[in-house]
C-alpha cells in the first residue's frame, strides 16, 4: 500500500494518523495519506507568512515569476502520465479525462505565466500638483479549499494565478481524492518554487478545512465546493472581513428549440451529463425541450443512454463510477424520489448489475415538474431531468427557476433567439450550441447560490490582487 504525505514549507511531512483512499471502481482501499493536524496547519501558515514577509515572490522581477510558472507547467507535463493513472484509481474517472485534467493544469500555469509580467496599474490625472497611480498587490496568504471531482485542474486553476500575482498559498486537498494533486506540489518543488510559497494539506473539512478558513493569518479564501460548506466558510470569513472567491454548485439547464441541430445536441448531452458520471458543477442536469420535438428527442436520448458502456475509468468506459458509497446512495435516493414526485423514469435509475464499485446507470427522467427535487437540487450523478415547454418565454423562465446560476445553454439555429437567451438567462456563462464551449481562457463563476468571483481567463488574475492607490503631492 502506498503512503502519501502532506507538503509543508517545502518538505514532505508524515502524520500521526492517516486517511484511507478508496478506489470507487472496486470499493478497495489502495493507499493512505497523512491526515494533517492543527499543528501541521500552524506550520504551513508560519511557512507561508515567512515567505510573504521575505517578499521573495513579491519583489522578484515579474519575468522571473513568469519563468517559474512556465517551469511548473513543464514539470506537470512531465508527470502527467503517472498522475493521471493515480487520478483514475482514486477518482474513478476515465484515463483520457484524467490526462485532460493534467493537461489543463499545465495550461493554467502557462496561461498565468504569460500574465505574471503584465499586472499593470494605471496613472490617474489629478492636475499638475499631483502624481497618482495604482499598483496591484498580492493579498498575502491565499487559502484554497478544493473539492473531489476535478482536484488536479481545480487546484491549478486557483494556484497558478495566485502565484503569478505573488501570493503564498495553502491548499486544503479533498479527503476523498488528495493523491493525484500532490503531483502538482511535486512539480512546484522541482521547478524551484520558494519554500513556504505552497503547502498542501489533506485533512477533513470539519477540522483542518474549518481551521484554515478561520485562521487569523489568512488573507484570502478561495473555495470550490458545495453551497453548504461555502456558507460555513463565508461565516468564518465574515468574522475577519476576509475576501472570498466562492465557486459553488449548479443546476444548469440546456434549452432546446425545435430548430436545433439534434446531432450536435446529442454530443453535448453526452458530455454535459454523462462525462465524469455527471459529477461536474456545470453539468447539464436539466434539459428543457420545445414540446413539438419532445417525444422524438426523449426517445433518441433514451436509446443513446442505453447504449453507453458502464465500467472502470482505466478502460475509458462511457459511464464511470460515482465517487463513493455515500454519493451512490444520494444519487439513487434522488432517483427514487423523482418517480414519487411525478417524473417518468425513461431509463436507468438504479445500480447496474455485475459491478463491484459505486456505479449508477445512466439515467433519464421525463415530464419533470419544476417543483420536483431533481429539477431544483444538485444531484451530482449521471441523471438527466427533461421538461417540455410551449413558448420561448416559458423556456427562459423554466431555465431561471432555480436558486443556482452557474451556466446555461441554448440549442437553436435561430441566431436572434440565441442572442435574446444570452441576455435573459441567469448564469455566469451561457453556451450556445455546444455545452462546455470555452476553455481556461474564458471567465467562469456563478450568480445566486452558485457563488461569486471569477476563475479562469484574464479576469481571474484580479481575484488574487488588491488595488493600492498612491497619491503624491509634488509641491
Ligand atoms: P464539499 O463542500 O463537501 O467539500 C469541498 C471541500 O471543502 C473539501 O476539501 C472539504 O474537505 C472541505 N470542507 C468541508 N467542510 C468544510 C468546512 N466546514 N470548512 C472548510 N472546508 C470544509 O464539496 P464536495 O462534495 O467536495 O464537491 C462537490 C461540490 O463542489 C458540488 O456542489 C459541486 O457543484 C461543487 N463544485 C463547484 C465547482 C465550481 O467551479 N463552481 C467546481 C467543482 C465542484
Chain segment 275-289, per-residue pLDDT in tens: 999 999 999 999 999
Whole-angstrom distance, CA of residue 65 vs CA of residue 166: 8
pTM of the model: 0.97
41 with 184, same domain: the answer is yes
What confidence score (pLDDT) does residue 1 get?
A: 65
**Ligand 1, atom 39, residue with closest C-alpha:** 247
Strand order in the sheet with 2-4: 2-4, 28-34, 18-23
Residue 466 located in a structural domain: yes
User: What values do phi and psi take at 173, rounded to 5?
Assistant: -80, 155
Specify the DSSP element, H or E, that contains 70: helix 62-91
267 with 174, same domain: the answer is no
8 Å CB contact between 436 and 407:
no
Residue 393 has pLDDT above 90, yes or no: yes
Whole-angstrom distance, CA of residue 272 vs CA of residue 11: 40
pLDDT band at residue 319, thresholds of 50, 70 and 90? very high
32 with 165, same domain: the answer is yes
Torsion angle (degrees, nearest 10) of CA 448, 368, 149, 34: 90
Residue 48 Cα to ligand 1 middle (Å): 23
User: What values do phi and psi take at 434, rounded to 5?
Assistant: -160, 115
What confidence score (pLDDT) does residue 212 get?
A: 98
User: Who's near 320: CB < 8 A, 6+ residues apart?
Assistant: 25, 92, 93, 94, 276, 277, 311, 312, 313, 359
Residue 411 Cα to ligand 1 middle (Å): 30
8 Å CB contact between 112 and 440:
no
pLDDT band at residue 203, thresholds of 50, 70 and 90? very high
Parallel, antiparallel, or unpaired for β 130-138 and 465-473?
A: antiparallel
Angle at 190 between CA 188 and CA 193, to 5 degrees: 45
Whole-angstrom distance, CA of residue 297 vs CA of residue 385: 13
pLDDT band at residue 2, thresholds of 50, 70 and 90? confident
- Which of 215, 229, 403 maximizes ligand 1 atoms within 8 Å of its Cβ, making it the mutation to test the pocket? 229
58 with 138, same domain: the answer is yes
Name the catalytic one among 281, 335, 378, 455: 281
Residue 444 located in a structural domain: no
55 with 157, same domain: the answer is yes
Angle at 280 between CA 278 and CA 281, to 5 degrees: 130
Whole-angstrom distance, CA of residue 140 vs CA of residue 217: 9
41 with 190, same domain: the answer is yes
| Closest ligand 1 atom to Cα of 150 | 43
Please give the average per-residue pLDDT across 8-34, as a whole number. Answer: 97
Domain count, the chain: 2
8 Å CB contact between 396 and 240:
no
Whole-angstrom distance, CA of residue 83 vs CA of residue 360: 26
198 with 273, same domain: the answer is no
Residue 174 located in a structural domain: yes
User: Who's near 254: CB < 8 A, 6+ residues apart?
Assistant: 265, 268, 269, 272, 284, 286, 287, 288, 408, 409, 410, 411, 431, 435
8 Å CB contact between 200 and 181:
yes
- For residue 219, the domain's CATH number is 3.40.605.10
257 with 238, same domain: the answer is no
Residue 258 located in a structural domain: yes
Residue 387 has pLDDT above 90, yes or no: yes
281 with 216, same domain: the answer is no
Whole-angstrom distance, CA of residue 363 vs CA of residue 382: 6
User: If you count them, how many residues does the chain have?
Assistant: 475
What confidence score (pLDDT) does residue 247 get?
A: 98
179 with 305, same domain: the answer is no
Residue 295 located in a structural domain: yes
- For residue 370, the domain's CATH number is 3.40.309.10
- What are the beta bridge partners of residue 409? 254, 431
8 Å CB contact between 321 and 25:
yes
343: containing domain: 252-439
Residue 343 located in a structural domain: yes
Residue 358 Cα to ligand 1 middle (Å): 20
Helix, strand, or coil (residue 253): strand
Whole-angstrom distance, CA of residue 256 vs CA of residue 135: 46
Angle at 45 between CA 40 and CA 47, to 5 degrees: 95
Residue 149 Cα to ligand 1 middle (Å): 9
- Which of 205, 322, 451, 454 maximizes ligand 1 atoms within 8 Å of its Cβ, making it the mutation to test the pocket? 205
**Ligand 1, atom 11, residue with closest C-alpha:** 205
80 with 199, same domain: the answer is yes
* Sign of the alpha-carbon torsion through 172, 137, 246, 386: negative
Whole-angstrom distance, CA of residue 303 vs CA of residue 280: 23
| Closest ligand 1 atom to Cα of 203 | 11
Residue 462 located in a structural domain: yes
Question: Pocket around ligand 1: residues whose beta carbon is below 6 Å from it?
Answer: 145-150, 154, 172, 174-175, 204-206, 209-210, 213, 224-226, 229, 232-233, 247-250, 281, 378, 380, 406
pLDDT in tens, 98-157: 999 999 999 999 999 999 999 999 999 999 999 999 999 999 999 999 999 999 999 999
Please give the average per-residue pLDDT across 61-70, as a whole number. Answer: 98
375 with 410, same domain: the answer is yes
Name the catalytic one among 247, 290, 378, 455: 247
Residue 76 has pLDDT above 80, yes or no: yes
Catalytic: 281? yes
Residue 454 has pLDDT above 70, yes or no: yes
Residue 93 located in a structural domain: yes
| Count of C-beta atoms within a 10 Å radius of residue 33 | 25
Amino acid at each position: 500500500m502506498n503512503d502519501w504525505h502532506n507538503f509543508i514549507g517545502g518538505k514532505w511531512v508524515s502524520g500521526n494518523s492517516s486517511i484511507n483512499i478508496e478506489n470507487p471502481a472496486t470499493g478497495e482501499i489502495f493507499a493512505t495519506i497523512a491526515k494533517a493536524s492543527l499543528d501541521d496547519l500552524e506550520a504551513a501558515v508560519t511557512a507561508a507568512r515567512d515567505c510573504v514577509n521575505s517578499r521573495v515572490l513579491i519583489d522578484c522581477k515579474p519575468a522571473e515569476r513568469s519563468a517559474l510558472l512556465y517551469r511548473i507547467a513543464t514539470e506537470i507535463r512531465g508527470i502527467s502520465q503517472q498522475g493521471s493513472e493515480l487520478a483514475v484509481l482514486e477518482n474513478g474517472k476515465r484515463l483520457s479525462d484524467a490526462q485532460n485534467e493534467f493537461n489543463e493544469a499545465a495550461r493554467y500555469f502557462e496561461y498565468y505565466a504569460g500574465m505574471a509580467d503584465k499586472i499593470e496599474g494605471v496613472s490617474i490625472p489629478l492636475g499638475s500638483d499631483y502624481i497618482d497611480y495604482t499598483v496591484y498587490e498580492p493579498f498575502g496568504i491565499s487559502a484554497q479549499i478544493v473539492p473531489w471531482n476535478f482536484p488536479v485542474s481545480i487546484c491549478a486553476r486557483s494556484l497558478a494565478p495566485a502565484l503569478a500575482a505573488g501570493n503564498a498559498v495553502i491548499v486544503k486537498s479533498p479527503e476523498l481524492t488528495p493523491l493525484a494533486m500532490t503531483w502538482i506540489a511535486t512539480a512546484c518543488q522541482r521547478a524551484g518554487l520558494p519554500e513556504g510559497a505552497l503547502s498542501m494539506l489533506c485533512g477533513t473539512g470539519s477540522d483542518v478545512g474549518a481551521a484554515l478558513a478561520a485562521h487569523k493569518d489568512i488573507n484570502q479564501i478561495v473555495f470550490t465546493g458545495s453551497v453548504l460548506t461555502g456558507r460555513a466558510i463565508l461565516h468564518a470569513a465574515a468574522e475577519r472581513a476576509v475576501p472570498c472567491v466562492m465557486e459553488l454548485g449548479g443546476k444548469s439547464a440546456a434549452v432546446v428549440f425545435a430548430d436545433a441541430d439534434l446531432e450536435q445536441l446529442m454530443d453535448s448531452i453526452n458530455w454535459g451529463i454523462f462525462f465524469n458520471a455527471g459529477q461536474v458543477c456545470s453539468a447539464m442536469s436539466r434539459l428543457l425541450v420545445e414540446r413539438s420535438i419532445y417525444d422524438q428527442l426523449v426517445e433518441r436520448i433514451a436509446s443513446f443512454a442505453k447504449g453507453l458502456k458502464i465500467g472502470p475509468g482505466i478502460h475509458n468506459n462511457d459511464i464511470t463510477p460515482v465517487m463513493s458509497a455515500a454519493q451512490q446512495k444520494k444519487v439513487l435516493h434522488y432517483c427514487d424520489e423523482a418517480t414519487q414526485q411525478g417524473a417518468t423514469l425513461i431509463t436507468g435509475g438504479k445500480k447496474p448489475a455485475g459491478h463491484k464499485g459505486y456505479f449508477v446507470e445512466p439515467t433519464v427522467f421525463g415530464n419533470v415538474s419544476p417543483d420536483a427535487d431533481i429539477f431544483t437540487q444538485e444531484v451530482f450523478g449521471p441523471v438527466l431531468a427533461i421538461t417540455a415547454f410551449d413558448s420561448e418565454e416559458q423556456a427562459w423562465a423554466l431555465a431561471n427557476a432555480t436558486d443556482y446560476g452557474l451556466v446555461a445553454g441554448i440549442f437553436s439555429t435561430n441566431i436572434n433567439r440565441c442572442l435574446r437567451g444570452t441576455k435573459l438567462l441567469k448564469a455566469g456563462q451561457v453556451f450556445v450550441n455546444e455545452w462546455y464551449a470555452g476553455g481556461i481562457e474564458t471567465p467562469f463563476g456563478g450568480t445566486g447560490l452558485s457563488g461569486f468571483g471569477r476563475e479562469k481567463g484574464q479576469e481571474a488574475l484580479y481575484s488574487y490582487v488588491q488595488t493600492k492607490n498612491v497619491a503624491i503631492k509634488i509641491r
